[in-house]
Amino acid sequence: MDLLHSHTSHLVLLFSIQITYGPFDPILHDKVQFPSLYQVAPRFSSLPWGMVRLMVHFGWTWVGLVVSDDMKGERFLLDLTREMARNSVCSAFTKKIPSGKFNLYIAQGIYSSVTATSAAVMAAYGDAGSLSLLRFVIENFGLSKMVLITTFHWDFTLSMTYETNSYDFHGTLTLANHAKDVPGFRDFLRTLKPAKYPEVIILKEFWESAFDCSLSLPEKSGIKCSENASLEMLPVHRFSLTMSALSYSVYNAVYAVAHGLQDLLLSNSNLESLENGDCLVPRPWQLHEFLSKVQFDNPVGEPVFLNENHRSTAKFEILNFVMSPSGTCELVKVGEMDPQAPPDQNVFINEAIIMWPGGSSQAPHSRCSRSCGPGFRKRTQQGEAVCCYFCVRCPEGEISNQTDAEQCVKCGEDQYSNMERDGCLHKAVTFLSHKEPLGLILVCTSLSFSLLTALVFGIFIKHRDTPIVRANNRNLSYTLLLSLMLCFLCALTFIGQPTPASCLLRQMAFGVVFTVAVSSILAKTFTVVLAFRATSLGSRVRRWVGPRASTSTVLSCSLVQVTICMIWLGTAPPFLEVDVHSEPRLIIVKCNEGSVTAFYCLLGYLGVLALVSFTVAFLARRLPDSFNEAKFITFGMLVFCSVWASFLPAYQSTKGKATVAVEIFSILASGAGLLSCIFFPKCYVILLRPDRNTREWLKRK
């Protein structure tokens, strides 16, 4: 009975059947201990959800908690902290207040916790008895600037007196049970007067206490009650014309009992007993059977159940306690909560009409750390609550476009992050274009060298019968000039947007054409050496000096390179590739070499031919040649080998279109070196010193 008394302070007792109209209590839901007890109030299991939802709506992540030190408070605190953790809301402090005990030490502890934290919001749960100490702290320690969130369990307005500074609670937000206005209720209260119901003694006593007057003769009391007095003249902490959640539950409880009695009296068995003259008062077990089946819509259209298995989750109203400068106070409805509504529709708050502590119209901030704006993410501090963090800028390639982002989000492969790290921009597609300055310069250089080579070729054709052209194997000179001209032109395949065809063609064309050029130089060098040896040793070497041997040298050396290219094409040919990783803000369209081994085999074979040609030419540089071509070949091959020796490290260390530019530069530089070192001296003699390009001058020399 003690347990029942402690949890059922609001009961309607009827024939040993208990109907409680107070807040829903899960303990009383146990039908084994309380088989004949009914609760009218809806379930309030979503109350912690409602308080946290209110915190999340206003961005309060650093909140103090005060609960009653009893079983209800413990259970509510457990549910509340779980809901707070799910929504990244942290507790700045937690205080438990024992019920009915005034302890100055606990009051000072609450005050110290509030002043020691940066939290601007405090949530309180308990009834008037357990939270009286908190009210004392608020009224006497100057905590009026902190936003207080309460529930309907603690109706602090009823505990106020004229001595209470109501402004200390200005801006308080209360989650109250949803209650509709009963038609005619306000009008009834406005016209309610003791003279209208003289037999109601309790109404007379309330009237004299509320208006601080006397209904009796003036000599019995100093102030006589005015005949024009009305309940709507009283302040809200003394009396409110609005039906409270508790009154609404009483209203539903009375209607439920009436419906149960009506169903009982209208049943067939009871009609028979009434006809037999039985007592009109029903037995408790008879009423218990019908109360468990009560189900109806009250006059305001809301369903009422006494069977708790059919009861839905409660809806809440958000009330704002407002104290005007003139001293009047009222509870203003500023929003609603419905836990059963869709997530984007379960909370409605009219922020424009909310009055906050201190008279501000703006919601206060209650956070352990400042907000991390777009472009930053939160990083928690070791040993601190998750709400206490510092902001870190997102790295390159990642963004955050919302406030207090937990993690940065990577941009797509075709995007990059802007400078503010709050948005992704599309990467620009890049390649070595002939429209940009570098590409245009390389195109002009390639065409210029090609035209220059063609000009030299024309000079040699025109003067093909002169001694200087005939003396150095003009067929090999023609082959070398033609291959150099193709070398300069093949550089154009590296410029412009790559295509699958250009990727397959350019490296193969470059390798084969340069191999023909170097093979021609090697054949010319062998011709010089063999010509000198043929003169010294007689006819045994003469047969290797003719054009057939030179042609065989060029073809055989070139055939090896062609074989390497065919194997490359057959195994892992080059292909078109889109590189989105090398440059953070660019998409590089390039040719992937496919087989790196084959590519370096091509370059390696070309390098071997070049080294052999350079070595033979260097050894033959002092032979008695009419125009000393071996000496010029030595210089040309020295330039060629130097360029391609520096190409390898430069090629490895660059990326993007710079890699293509390095290879084009090497092609043009090495070709230009061969053209200038081998052919320019001959052109000088042909064009500017024709006197040396005669048989007589050769004989004299």
pLDDT 10s digits, 240-253 = 777 777 777 788 88
Separation of alpha carbons 205 and 284, rounded Å = 35
Q: Name the nearest CA neighbour of 321 among 276, 368, 354.
A: 354
End-to-end Cα spacing for the chain: 140
CA distance to 48, 49, 51, per residue, from 56 (Å): 12, 10, 9
Separation of alpha carbons 579 and 590, rounded Å = 7
Phi/psi of residue 33, each to 5°? -80, -35
Query: What is the secondary structure of 422-451 as a DSSP string?
Result: SSEEEPEEE---TTSHHHHHHHHHHHHHHH
At residue 161 the predicted structure's pLDDT band, cuts being 50, 70 and 90, is very low
Q: pLDDT value at position 546?
A: 57
pLDDT 10s digits, 14-45 = 446 777 766 666 666 666 677 777 777 666 66
pLDDT 10s digits, 32-86 = 677 777 777 666 667 888 899 999 999 898 999 999 888 888 888 999 999 999 9
The 8 Å CB, 24+ separation contacts for 190-194 are 190/230, 190/231, 190/232, 190/241, 192/231, 193/229, 193/230
CATH ID of 437-692, from 1.20.1070.10, 3.40.640.10, 1.10.287.3510, 3.30.70.100: 1.20.1070.10
Q: Are the C-beta atoms of 95 and 66 separated by less than 8 Å?
A: yes
Cα radius of gyration (the chain): 50
Query: What is the secondary structure of 239-269 as a DSSP string?
Result: --SSPPHHHHHHHHHHHHHHHHHHHHHTSHH
Q: Name the nearest CA neighbour of 57 among 347, 360, 388.
A: 347
At residue 295 the predicted structure's pLDDT band, cuts being 50, 70 and 90, is confident
Phi/psi of residue 14, each to 5°? -150, 105
Burial class (CB in 10 A: 0-12, 13-18, 19+), 406: middle
pLDDT 10s digits, 315-330 = 788 988 887 766 667 7
Instruction: Tell me which of 230 and 381 has the higher pLDDT.
Output: 230
Q: Are the C-beta atoms of 686 and 463 separated by less than 8 Å?
A: yes
Average pLDDT over residues 201-206: 85
The H or E element containing residue 347 is strand 347-349
Enter the DSSP assignment of 224.
B
Average pLDDT over residues 692-700: 69
pLDDT 10s digits, 405-422 = 889 999 988 899 999 999
Q: pLDDT value at position 624?
A: 60
pLDDT 10s digits, 525-566 = 877 666 665 555 454 545 555 567 778 888 999 999 999 999
Q: pLDDT value at position 6?
A: 40
Q: pLDDT value at position 435?
A: 87
Q: Name the nearest CA neighbour of 137 among 177, 95, 176.
A: 95
Q: pLDDT value at position 2?
A: 34
Lowest mean pLDDT among 94-98, 103-107, 198-202, 661-665: 103-107
Q: Is 90 helix (H, G, I), strand (E, B) or coil?
A: strand
Separation of alpha carbons 162 and 103, rounded Å = 24
Separation of alpha carbons 132 and 155, rounded Å = 11
At residue 163 the predicted structure's pLDDT band, cuts being 50, 70 and 90, is very low
Q: Which two tokens stand for residue 154?
A: 């603690």
Q: Are the C-beta atoms of 561 and 604 separated by less than 8 Å?
A: no
pLDDT higher than threshold 60 for residue 376: yes
The 8 Å CB, 24+ separation contacts for 417-422 are 420/374, 420/375, 421/374, 421/375, 421/376, 421/393, 421/394, 422/373, 422/374, 422/375
CATH ID of 44-178+314-368, from 3.40.50.2300, 3.40.190.10, 3.40.50.10470, 2.30.110.10: 3.40.50.2300
Separation of alpha carbons 449 and 640, rounded Å = 16
Q: pLDDT value at position 44?
A: 60
At residue 626 the predicted structure's pLDDT band, cuts being 50, 70 and 90, is low
∠ CA 667-671-676 to the nearest 5 degrees? 150
pTM of the full structure: 0.58
Q: pLDDT value at position 162?
A: 41
Q: pLDDT value at position 100?
A: 65
Q: Name the nearest CA neighbour of 532 among 632, 636, 622.
A: 622
589's CB contacts (< 8 A; 6+ apart) are 429, 430, 431, 497, 498, 576, 577, 578, 579
pLDDT higher than threshold 60 for residue 290: yes
Lowest mean pLDDT among 322-336, 452-466, 617-631: 617-631
The H or E element containing residue 389 is strand 389-393
Query: What is the secondary structure of 32-85 as a DSSP string?
Result: TT-TTEEE-SPB-TTHHHHHHHHHHHHT--EEEEEEESSHHHHHHHHHHHHHHH
Separation of alpha carbons 220 and 201, rounded Å = 18
Instruction: Tell me which of 656 and 482 has the higher pLDDT.
Output: 482
Separation of alpha carbons 495 and 478, rounded Å = 27
Mean pLDDT computed over every residue of the chain: 81
Q: pLDDT value at position 204?
A: 86
Q: Name the nearest CA neighbour of 460 among 489, 430, 485.
A: 485
Q: Are the C-beta atoms of 65 and 93 separated by less than 8 Å?
A: yes
pLDDT higher than threshold 90 for residue 443: yes
Q: pLDDT value at position 517?
A: 92
Q: Are the C-beta atoms of 14 and 287 separated by less than 8 Å?
A: yes
pLDDT 10s digits, 305-318 = 776 665 556 678 89
Q: pLDDT value at position 323?
A: 78
